[in-house]
């Protein structure tokens, strides 16, 4: 069983008070080989600043290199972008199974009287609805209703929660939460205590079940099992992921990372499992209509603009940005995030300008070839009057206008199965 580390409570210097913030709260590639199409801000060519600094490494870094992964700088981390190729890895996850090292993600523990109240105040979803061992997708908010980060909130017990946040936002998120901190809440950054492995794909349960006594079929989507073991290694098993497929994320002690990684790959051989990199993770999440922080949303984007009204609970009570969101719900949003598909072979890249009748009306936030769908797809912000299915738009790609059409999202939805 994982024993969560217990250190002295982190000391924070509060830059704002609950009272002050509460006032605001109420108120063109070939199809066989995809070029690296990770988001623009996290391209596979490191910036000068990143090149000069030491890249962070997960506990599996040496393992990835020994296995021949193509390693690249990504958000300050040295990460595998592909093993056997983005298309092969993408298709393995859609049809069989793939294994990802996502240990670069941040993990925070919050507990103590007031933990629920703190999370209710700084996130958009209703944390009070969670039961023990249940997880929730949410947004970390600022007072302007901008999204500081998107995250998963796991309820461990009453007034005890685990947050999983984006790797590049670890420090920002910790600092922002600290500004709204209550002294009775203990905050622990346990990111470096655990590795996080994502086993994804329709054969995930067939691979994992023989390795554990935990009844995986009893874990519902967005629930997790605590205190279990996989091959005798204590870990948490969450039925979550970022691919649009069924699967599990395992939270494993760092010292057991390589043992778990190799055991899962060995167990999955008969199911044609592949180790996967961030390239396939990006194309999979886009195909499934999942958003990427820093591209499809940021601190200047509200959840209602980003199509995240389903995680925005205005009736739960005061929270950061609530007043702004109430006005947007009443008066309408200035822009909406939509999905589009290209009407020819061109691939729309991130930040490509979007036009209608010769006038620029928005820009692409995510764009890629979708290997399973065999289409060129993307996400873009458009004025509300243009954000309707069937609307024809033009996207400027290398100086040439390419035709596209607004389509429903998600682009891909897996078939429902009994779980």
The 3-class SS string of the chain reads CCCCCCCCCCCCCCCCCHHHHHHHHHCCCCCCCCCCCCCHHHCCCCCHHHHHCCCECCCCHHHHHHCCCEEEEECCEEEEEECCCHHHHHHHHHHCCEEEECCCCEEEEEECCCHHHHHHHHECCCHHHCCCCEEEEEEEECCCCCEEEEEEEEEEECCEEEEEECHHHHHHHHHHHHHCCCCCCEEEECHHHEEEEEEECCCHHHHHHHHECCCHHHCCCCEEEEEEEECCEEEEEECCCCCCCCEEEEEEEHHHHHHHHHHHHHHCHHHCCEEECHHHHHHHHHHCCCCCECCCECCCCCCCCCCCHHHCCHHHCCCCCHHHHHHHHHHCCCCEEEEEEECCCCCCCCCCEEEECCEEEEEEEEEEEECCCCEEEEEEEECHHHCCCCCEEEEEECCEEEEEEEECCCCCCCCCCCC
Are 186 and 283 in the same domain? yes
Q: Give the domain extent around 419.
A: 334-419
Single residue among 332, 366, 393 that ends a domain in this structure: 332
132 and 170 housed in the same domain: yes
58 and 186, same domain (yes or no): yes
CATH of the domain at 270: 3.30.1360.120
- The tens-digit pLDDT sequence of the chain (419 residues) is 333 333 233 333 333 333 333 323 333 222 223 333 333 333 333 333 334 469 999 999 999 999 999 999 988 999 999 999 999 999 999 999 999 999 999 999 999 999 999 999 999 999 999 999 999 999 999 999 999 999 999 999 999 999 999 999 999 999 999 888 788 999 999 999 999 999 999 999 999 999 999 999 999 999 999 989 999 999 999 999 999 999 999 999 999 999 999 999 999 999 999 999 999 999 999 999 999 999 999 999 999 999 999 999 999 999 999 999 999 999 999 999 999 999 989 999 999 999 999 999 999 999 999 999 999 999 999 999 999 999 999 999 999 999 999 999 999 999 876 44
We report the CATH number of the domain holding residue 406 as 2.40.30.110
| Domains contained in the chain, number | 2
Q: Report pLDDT for 146.
A: 98
- For residues 68 and 192, state if they share a domain: yes
Residue 352 and residue 310 in one domain: no
Same domain flag for 326 and 338: no
Q: Are residues 64 and 208 in the same domain?
A: yes
The answer to whether residues 316 and 367 belong to one domain is no
Residue 261 shares a structural domain with residue 403: no
Same domain, 374 and 326: no
Q: Are residues 94 and 114 in the same domain?
A: yes
Tell me: do 187 and 264 sit in the same domain.
yes
């Amino acid at each position: 069983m994982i024993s969560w580390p217990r250190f002295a409570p982190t000391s924070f210097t509060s830059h704002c008070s609950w009272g002050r913030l509460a006032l605001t709260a109420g108120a063109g590639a070939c199809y066989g080989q995809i070029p690296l199409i990770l988001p623009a801000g996290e391209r596979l060519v490191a910036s000068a600043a990143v090149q000069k600094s030491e890249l962070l490494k997960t506990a599996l870094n040496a393992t990835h290199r020994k296995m021949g992964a193509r390693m690249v700088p990504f958000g300050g981390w040295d990460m595998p972008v592909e093993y056997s190729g983005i298309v092969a890895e993408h298709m393995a996850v859609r049809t069989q199974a793939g294994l990802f090292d996502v240990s670069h993600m941040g993990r925070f523990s919050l507990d103590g009287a007031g933990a629920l109240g703190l999370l209710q105040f700084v996130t958009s979803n209703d944390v009070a609805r969670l039961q023990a061992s249940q997880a929730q997708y949410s947004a970390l908010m600022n007072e302007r209703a901008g999204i500081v980060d998107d995250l998963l909130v796991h309820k461990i017990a009453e007034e005890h929660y685990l947050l999983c946040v984006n790797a590049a936002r670890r420090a920002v998120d910790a600092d922002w939460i600290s500004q709204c901190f209550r002294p009775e809440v203990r905050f622990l950054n346990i990111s470096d205590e655990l590795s996080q492995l994502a086993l994804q794909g329709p054969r995930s349960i067939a691979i994992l079940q023989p390795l554990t006594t935990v009844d995986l079929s009893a874990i519902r989507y967005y629930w997790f099992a605590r205190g279990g073991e996989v091959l005798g290694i204590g870990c948490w098993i969450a039925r979550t992921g970022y691919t649009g497929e069924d699967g599990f994320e395992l939270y494993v002690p760092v010292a057991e990372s390589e043992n778990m990684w190799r055991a899962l790959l060995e167990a999955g051989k008969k199911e044609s499992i592949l180790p996967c990199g961030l390239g396939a993770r990006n194309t999979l999440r886009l195909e499934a209509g999942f958003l990427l922080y820093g591209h499809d949303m940021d601190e200047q984007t509200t959840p209602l603009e980003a199509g995240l009204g389903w995680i925005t609970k205005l009736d739960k009570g005061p929270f950061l940005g609530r007043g702004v969101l109430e006005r947007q719900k009443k008066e309408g949003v200035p822009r909406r995030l939509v999905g589009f598909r290209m009407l020819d072979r061109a691939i729309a890249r991130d930040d490509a300008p979007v036009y209608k009748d010769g006038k620029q009306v928005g820009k692409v936030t995510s764009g890629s070839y979708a290997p399973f769908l065999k289409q060129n797809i993307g996400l873009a912000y458009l004025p509300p009057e243009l954000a309707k299915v069937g609307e024809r738009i033009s996207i400027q790609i290398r100086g040439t206008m390419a035709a596209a059409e607004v389509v429903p999202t998600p682009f891909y939805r897996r078939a429902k199965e009994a779980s």
